[in-house]
Structure 1
Amino acid sequence: MLVDNHNRKINYLRLAVTDRCNLRCNYCMPSEGIDFAQKNHLFTIEELCRLSEIMVEQGIDKIRITGGEPFVRKDLMVFLRKLSQLKGLEDISITTNATLIGPYIAELKSLGILNINVSLDAIDKDTFEKVTRRDQYDTVYNNLTRLIAEGFNVRINFIALEHQNIQDIIPILKLMRHYPVSVRFLEEMPFNGGSKAFTTITWDYKKILAHIQTEFPEITKLDSPKTSTSINYQIKGHKSTFGLIPSFSRTFCGSCNRLRISATGDVITCLYGKPRLNLRDIMRGENVEEGIVEHILKAIGSRSKTGFEEQEKYAGIFQSSMTSIGG
């Protein structure tokens, strides 16, 4: 079992398989993109499998596959097939922009990988294209409806962007009201690769909720696990639920059970800090398991209690892009 220096059990790993993405969302990176890692700096599939085995042996029972966009990696399904057979791993989930998942939906279902988070920041096509800077709306929408129809546990992640997509908050709730999905509204975070700078936000989770209540006054708050990052609700008469994720306000830090490992091997114990160390060279050396465990224990043994505490230690942390730190 992994326990950090604040007595928090760490059982959830967010594992990035690539830093590349086929969209250029304006809240994530500049339009020209960022300096992506060279291929030999990324974990190989074999290394990802071995790393996952070691982490599960240490008590990780949930792994979320992230990127970049995971399905940009053409050998992703090789990894997912092996991951689905890993004893002790109770939950495999994927965060995707749903542009490339279509050909793999049937196999994902057969593997039992049913928890899919779809990043979708607009339900209006024009707004979608302005945010993502790409013409992929029809593909995303079609794949989303397929996932829902096939019985996947779908959660839609919608980042509230002032002056960009706020007008889509109510429509997306109306559209999803007939389906058993969760629409989760996230506060904007400043990890945008330097595409803009900000120190505060207008659309925090409280304002998002107030906006929703202007249209849907009959809302019930739902019970959520202690480690949940979202505050969850259901609108009367809706099959869907919605959640609010205070990713900028960071109200959930006290119960954080997550560890991030980037596609290049950086161990990230908090989004608001620098990587603690890197595992890639250890994975390619001798005494791999011993070295990985030693370094993971060292990393979680010096975690900050909150994101605010971590942020104070580092200057320029917000110049990172979310695609390079694993979502």
Structure 2
Amino acid sequence: MTVPVFPAASLADAHGRRFEYLRLSLTDVCNFRCTYCLPEGYRKIAGMPSDLSVAEIRRLVAGFARLGLWKVRLTGGEPSLRRELLEIAEAVAAVPGIRRLAMTTNGYRLAERAGDYASAGIAALNVSVDSLDPARFRTITGHDRLDEVLDGVGAARAAGIGTVKLNSVLMRGINDDELGGFMAFVNRHDLTLRFIEVMRTNDNAAFFDRHHMPGSEIASRLETLGWRRLQRAAGAGPAIEYEHPAGRGRIGIIAPYAKDFCTTCNRLRVSSRGKLHLCLFGDHGIDLRDLLQSDDQIDALIARITALTATKAPAHRLHSGNSGATPHLASIGG
């Protein structure tokens, strides 16, 4: 049998950036009520089209794989709420050219499902843990589930999922005093944790103004404590990672407000309803769904993706207070 050969990151924009990483939202529904994203909880909008089917997702990923994208991350909302999650994971993992399948989750039912995720081909997990204090975790997320989520992290590692990372949104006056506790936790458990700056969206402007904290402040504190910056690995996300010579864990910082943050962008996003988002904070998504209805549309799909990607803007406009059309981070997976 002839094994197909796929190009290495042949998809590029007009600014010389090549794309190898697709963030694919499976649903915009989330069951947590995080203060920085959905403080009032998820609200269904009447008349919205259905989420992409498994077949549509397979065709979508096959098109991106033909263009050299080899890493896919399943996102949400909360992707574990999608009934077909395991079927989707198996389908994506089986697409020729896809070498790594990851998922970002709030940890819901992770302890009982980790083995199924591993069997379906999910090789990497990012788990949201915004505080290691149970009461504060409940205040931030609306759920008293910290122990459950941490049990899920342990279950994922025991199930053989090779990369398990924690995500923590960095918020001034809320959890910025937990750096020492997080450092001790990741070193004790040999984990990676990434602090993510609060990002302004259309729904959280007042919260952002009160609680935004530059990632550079955490970076300075880490460096003062002897943590050393690591080189960025191929296909990695936007985090700048640090390690300490006396510890086992790593801490990463995702700082979208930092200078030149967008120059290393290597990822594209597709919403759960099939819209291509060239930037998390772009003005709108561009529909691909009409080209996902049969396998013989793949050449047209590839042509549209290629043409649209060439128009990607050089950077977001967050510094000018413009977060585009993004209502909240759950809408297209953060």
Q: Same fold by TM (over 0.5)?
A: yes
Instruction: Supply the distance in 2 between the matched residues of 1:85 and 1:34 (Cα, whole angstroms).
Output: 34
What's the secondary structure of 2:80's corresponding residue?
Answer: helix
Instruction: Supply the distance in 2 between the matched residues of 1:72 and 1:27 (Cα, whole angstroms).
Output: 20
Q: Report the CA distance between 1:168 and its aligned residue.
A: 2.1
Residue 331 of structure 2 corresponds to which residue in structure 1? 324
Q: State the Cα deviation string for residues 257-279 of structure 1 (Å, max 9, x = none).
A: 11000001121111121234111
Structure 2 unaligned runs (5+)? Answer: 1-9
User: What are the residue-to-residue correspondences of 1:151-230 with 2, within 5 Å?
Assistant: 151-152=160-161, 153-191=163-201, 193-194=203-204, 196=206, 198=208, 202-212=212-222, 217-225=225-233, 228-230=237-239
Instruction: Supply the distance in 2 between the matched residues of 1:34 and 1:245 (Cα, whole angstroms).
Output: 28
Asked if structure 2 preserves the Cα contact closer than 8 Å seen for 1:250 and 1:307, the reply is no
Instruction: Supply the distance in 2 between the matched residues of 1:94 and 1:37 (Cα, whole angstroms).
Output: 28
User: CA distance change for structure 1 residues 143 and 322 in 2, over 3 Å: closer, same or farther?
Assistant: same
1:119 aligns with 2:153: no
The more displaced of 282-291 and 236-245 is: 282-291
* TM-score, normalised relative to structure 1: 0.89
Instruction: Supply the distance in 2 between the matched residues of 1:250 and 1:61 (Cα, whole angstroms).
Output: 28
Aligned partner of 2:287: which letter? N
Q: Report the CA distance between 1:24 and its aligned residue.
A: 1.0
Residue 51 of structure 2 corresponds to which residue in structure 1? 42
Match of 1:71 among 74, 80, 89: 80
What's the secondary structure of 1:19's corresponding residue?
Answer: coil
User: CA distance change for structure 1 residues 319 and 255 in 2, over 3 Å: closer, same or farther?
Assistant: closer
Asked if structure 2 preserves the Cα contact closer than 8 Å seen for 1:276 and 1:299, the reply is no
Asked if structure 1 preserves the Cα contact closer than 8 Å seen for 2:65 and 2:98, the reply is yes
Instruction: State the aligned residue count.
Output: 323
Asked if structure 2 preserves the Cα contact closer than 8 Å seen for 1:94 and 1:117, the reply is yes
Q: Report the CA distance between 1:69 and its aligned residue.
A: 0.6
Aligned partner of 1:31: which letter? E
The Cα RMSD (Å) is 2.6
* TM-score, normalised relative to structure 2: 0.87
Structure 1 unaligned runs (5+)? Answer: none
Q: Report the CA distance between 1:285 and its aligned residue.
A: 7.6
Instruction: Supply the distance in 1 between the matched residues of 2:212 and 2:189 (Cα, whole angstroms).
Output: 30
What's the secondary structure of 1:305's corresponding residue?
Answer: coil
What's the secondary structure of 2:166's corresponding residue?
Answer: strand
Asked if structure 1 preserves the Cα contact closer than 8 Å seen for 2:29 and 2:76, the reply is yes
Q: Report the CA distance between 1:163 and its aligned residue.
A: 1.5
Aligned partner of 1:295: which letter? R
Q: State the Cα deviation string for residues 280-317 of structure 1 (Å, max 9, x = none).
A: 23324896323322321222111111113x887x9662
What's the secondary structure of 2:189's corresponding residue?
Answer: coil
Asked if structure 1 preserves the Cα contact closer than 8 Å seen for 2:29 and 2:42, the reply is no
What's the secondary structure of 2:44's corresponding residue?
Answer: coil
Q: Report the CA distance between 1:208 and its aligned residue.
A: 1.3
Asked if structure 2 preserves the Cα contact closer than 8 Å seen for 1:34 and 1:193, the reply is no
Q: Report the CA distance between 1:178 and its aligned residue.
A: 2.3
Asked if structure 1 preserves the Cα contact closer than 8 Å seen for 2:173 and 2:211, the reply is no
Aligned partner of 1:169: which letter? L
